[in-house]
Amino acid sequence: MKIGELARATDTKVETIRYYEGAGLLAPPPRTGGNYRSYGSDELSRLSFIRRARDLGFSLDEVRELLTLADDRDQPCGAVDAVASSHLATIERKIADLAQMRDELARVIGSCRLGKVGDCKIIQTLEPMRGAARG
């Protein structure tokens, strides 16, 4: 399998696959006579794994860790659970942060579409001291 086929099969760009190789997530595959990378079904599985983990928001470092853990199939999977749980906590923190932004923005949007910038609630939210400091 050439890199382009692997790319199509996993919905990944060719450059991204080479990048993953450089980043140590994929081992350098054997080459053809013309120096083309040649992949088998193991690499297809591994890249699919990586893509799914990335889709779930795991960082490349976390993916590396999960790949290492996944290869030790007889180990207890508490370590896997720990990586995933910590990632879940990160996601929940991000959601909370974004929800707060959303609420703040929603509160001021739409309240001054027809007014002037000088009275705009959005601008006032951003520069709360300007009125006080300038009179």
Q: Which of 45, 59, 85, 100 binds DNA (CB under 7 A)?
A: 59
At residue 39, the 3 state secondary structure works out as coil
Give the whole-angstrom CA distance, residue 74 versus residue 42: 19
- Contact between 80 and DNA by CB under 7 A: the answer reads no
Q: Which of 16, 48, 90, 124 binds DNA (CB under 7 A)?
A: 16
Dmax over CA atoms of the chain, in Å, equals 77
- Contact between 125 and a copy of itself by CB under 8 A: the answer reads yes
Give the whole-angstrom CA distance, residue 101 versus residue 98: 5
- Contact between 34 and DNA by CB under 7 A: the answer reads yes
- Contact between 99 and a copy of itself by CB under 8 A: the answer reads yes
Q: Among a copy of itself, DNA, none, what binds residue 135 when CB lies within 5 to 8 Å by partner kind?
A: none
Round to the nearest angstrom and report the end-to-end CA distance of the chain: 71
